[in-house]
Amino acid sequence: MTASIQTHIRNFSIVAHIDHGKSTLADRLIQVTGGLSEREMTDQVLDNMDIERERGITIKAQTVRLSYKAKDGQTYVLNLIDTPGHVDFAYEVNRSLAAVEGSLLVVDASQGVEAQTLANVYQAIDNNHDIVPVLNKIDLPAAEPEKVKAQIEDVIGLDASEAIGISAKTGLNIDQVLEAIVARLPAPTGDREAPLKALLVDSWYDTYLGVVVLVRIVDGVLRKGMRIKMMRADAAYDVDRVGVFTPKMVAMENLGPGEIGFLNGSIKEVADTRVGDTITEEKRPCAEALPGFKPAQPVVFCGLFPVDAADFEDLRAAMGKLRLNDASFSFEMETSAALGFGFRCGFLGLLHLEIIQERLEREFNLDLIATAPSVIYEMEMNDGSVIEMHNPADMPDVVKIKEIREPWIRATILTPDDYLGAVLKLCQDRRGNQIELTYVGARAMVTYDLPLNEVVFDFYDRLKSISKGYASFDYTITDYREGDLVKMSLLVNAEPVDALSMLVHRTRAEFRGRAMCEKLKDLIPQHLFQIPIQAAIGAKIIARETIKALRKDVTAKCYGGDISRKRKLLDKQKEGKKKMRQFGKVEIPQEAFIAALKMDD
């Protein structure tokens, strides 16, 4: 692969609402430009993690360098970044946008503009991107490209007259997209002769290469063998390899201004690299660092405990390994009266939590219990000190607390008019304050301020279910506000289970307590004795359910001395018990801790 002429480089990200077809468009671009052979091609080829493939969503942004021979006869280098659509991974989008000059804004022509369309396009505009609107899925009978064009103009204020109608699935008009990238997106600026200045976009751990760093060169040239310096981290390393992704890793001699690629060298740990840092040459540093960007902040916390206490050290090792590739997740040791040793972990959102838990279980063969997710509360104490609390079990004595503050978000929800009433009720029930209500074509767009702790567990699921899947949702955290919050405990068979305790707003406590007791009644299997389940604030019981004792199980015949079959059943029962955790006399299934929080309203 040869070095590229700067005027012939185009860097862009593909942004859209979840599922609008970003990764499928990336497939077509790779295919049409010959980045992969037919044999190497699969659907959403850039979604290479097992979890991405199974769930059909993108979690990690991916970069690909394509070589495109345009109609003007010239060959261009196109660096595309496919980004995730789910709100939990907004951070991935954010840093991708900082590495490029333009965006393809993909809108599903059968769905129209959705909440993440807005969130992502506004971010692209904030990054001074030139934007090419693309209307995808026009092969679908329900596609209404003209209406969607009008929406883009009305709501976003972008000129959509030259929006390209495509089908990423069939490949229709992909050539037009490629031409538009060349014609309508700018070439990168940058001084080849200046000292090296590059943005550290991402880094991860590769089993063969060790730490791999994704960089965008702004000025100067990054060469193999160079000694580089990370400006903010103030550390220097030798570069062994530089290269690009086609999407396969291909080595290069150097990378010049405007190019996006990887380097690898004497860096030992991903923790040594800071996303957003500026990379320069040690002996000829650049004068000023790039502005960079804020690291991802975990917003949801929960405890992760091994079902089998003996797996604690394995869990620690597994978390360490996972964190190598996912710096947005944090963990520190925690002890629980009920669950023993485990870790308090921070996540970007509930989907992120689910994914990390699933990866730990699958890739490291662990069985885990996740406790009730919590947001970060601020406690202002009577003595004037302020405590950050991620874990309801750490709640200080209430008489010492002057004020409890909780994080609030600003949420944008788009919904067909038919479901507006239900959506408003949901937001209202969750203590929301309505800020704005406007219309995008036939759809309502509402803006609400909501406490994050009302949204974290199941708001998104509820929203999808009350709107039959049509409403979309995006949010950003805005500020901390005082709230009348109390600690609610759950007692199973008269014993408090700290892993189920949570902070709730006083006005919501009874409702939540009742919902949790009802859920737990279904989640905990019948035992040989009766089990009371109670929710309490302090010593006051606010809700109660009872699991009746098991009275009859199936007495199957034992035929012709076939004990093996009975044994299989017994082994299955034992397996089931292994996935439960004993609290006093009661066994609680591992998934109950999270499932108990999901409310049916």
Partner 1 sequence: MTIGLHPAPGPLPAPLLQGREDWEGQKAATVRPDTPSLRPAQTEGGFGVYVHWPFCLAKCPYCDFNSHVRHEAPDQARFVAAFRREIAHMRDLHGPAEAQTVFFGGGTPSLMEPATVAAILEAINTAWPIAADAEITLEANPTSVEAERFRGYRTAGVNRLSLGVQALEERDLKSLGRTHSVAEALAAVSIARATFGRVSFDLIYARPRQTPESWARELARALDEGCDHYSLYQLTIEPGTAYERLYSAGKLIIPDDDHARALWDVTQEVMGAAGLPAYEISNHARPGAEARHNLVYWRYGTYAGVGPGAHGRLTAGAERRATFTERQPERWLQAVEAEGHGMVSQEMLDTFTQGDELLLMGLRLAEGIDLPRHARLAGRPIDPARIAALADEGLVERSGDRLRVLPEGFPVLNAVIAELAR
Ligand X SMILES: Nc1nc2c(ncn2[C@@H]2O[C@H](COP(=O)(O)OP(=O)(O)OP(=O)(O)O)[C@@H](O)[C@H]2O)c(=O)[nH]1
Number of H helices, E strands in the chain: 13, 32
Contact 334, 319 (CB under 8 A): no
Minimum distance from residue 557 beta carbon to partner 1 (Å): 5
* Residues numbered 9-38 forming contacts with Mg ion, rule: CB under 5 A: 22-23
The burial class, CB within 10 Å (0-12 / 13-18 / 19+), for 87 is buried
Residue-by-residue DSSP string for 341-383: EEEEEEESSHHHHHHHHHHHHHHS---EEEPPPB--EEEEETT
Query: Cis bond leading into 247, ω under 30°?
Result: yes
CA distance to 117, 172, 198, 593, per residue, from 137 (Å)? 15, 9, 37, 40
Among 193, 383, 397, 553, binds partner 1 (CB under 8 A): 553
Considering only CA atoms, which of 506, 552, 558, 502 is closest in space to residue 389? 502
Tell me the chain's radius of gyration from C-alpha atoms. 27
310 binds, among partner 1, Mg ion, ligand X, none (CB under 5 to 8 A by kind): none
Minimum distance from residue 61 beta carbon to Mg ion (Å): 10
Q: What is the three-class DSSP state of 322?
A: helix
Considering only CA atoms, which of 409, 407, 455 is closest in space to residue 429? 455
User: Which range binds partner 1 by CB under 8 A, 400-408, 428-436, 515-523, 567-575?
Assistant: 567-575
Instruction: State which residue, 427 or 531, has the beta carbon closest to partner 1.
Output: 531
Q: Kindly state the tokens that stand for 420.
A: 């507006």
CA 85, 87, 92, 98 dihedral sign is: positive
User: Which range binds partner 1 by CB under 8 A, 244-252, 354-362, 391-399, 560-568?
Assistant: 560-568
585 binds, among Mg ion, partner 1, ligand X, none (CB under 5 to 8 A by kind): partner 1
141 binds, among ligand X, Mg ion, partner 1, none (CB under 5 to 8 A by kind): none
Contact 499, 339 (CB under 8 A): yes
Considering only CA atoms, which of 400, 422, 427 is closest in space to residue 411? 427
Minimum distance from residue 17 beta carbon to ligand X (Å): 7
| CA gap 24, 16 in Å, rounded | 12
User: Which range binds partner 1 by CB under 8 A, 73-81, 141-149, 209-217, 573-581?
Assistant: 573-581
* 546 interacts with partner 1 by CB under 8 A: no
Q: Kindly state the tokens that stand for 152.
A: 């883009």
* 558 interacts with partner 1 by CB under 8 A: yes
555 binds, among Mg ion, ligand X, partner 1, none (CB under 5 to 8 A by kind): partner 1
Contact 306, 366 (CB under 8 A): yes
Q: Kindly state the tokens that stand for 83.
A: 């980004």
Minimum distance from residue 323 beta carbon to partner 1 (Å): 34
Residues that bind ligand X (CB under 6 A): 16, 18-24, 44, 56-58, 84-85, 136-137, 139-140, 167-169
Crossing angle of the two packed helices 22-32 and 174-184, in degrees rounded to 10:
90
Instruction: State which residue, 57 or 286, has the beta carbon closest to Mg ion.
Output: 57
Instruction: State which residue, 117 or 467, has the beta carbon closest to ligand X.
Output: 117
* Residues numbered 515-544 forming contacts with partner 1, rule: CB under 8 A: 527-529
* 561 interacts with partner 1 by CB under 8 A: yes
435 binds, among partner 1, ligand X, Mg ion, none (CB under 5 to 8 A by kind): none
* 310 interacts with partner 1 by CB under 8 A: no
Instruction: State which residue, 42 or 189, has the beta carbon closest to ligand X.
Output: 42
Minimum distance from residue 561 beta carbon to partner 1 (Å): 5
Beta bridge partners of 416: 443
* 227 interacts with partner 1 by CB under 8 A: no
* 268 interacts with partner 1 by CB under 8 A: no
- Owner of token pair 């309203």: 601
Instruction: State which residue, 167 or 453, has the beta carbon closest to ligand X.
Output: 167
User: Which range binds Mg ion by CB under 5 A, 56-64, 409-417, 434-442, 472-480?
Assistant: 56-64
Instruction: State which residue, 421 or 584, has the beta carbon closest to partner 1.
Output: 584
Contacts of 39 (CB under 8 A, 6+ apart): none
Binding site for Mg ion (CB under 5 A): 22-23, 58
Binding site for partner 1 (CB under 8 A): 527-529, 550-564, 566-567, 569-570, 573-574, 577, 585
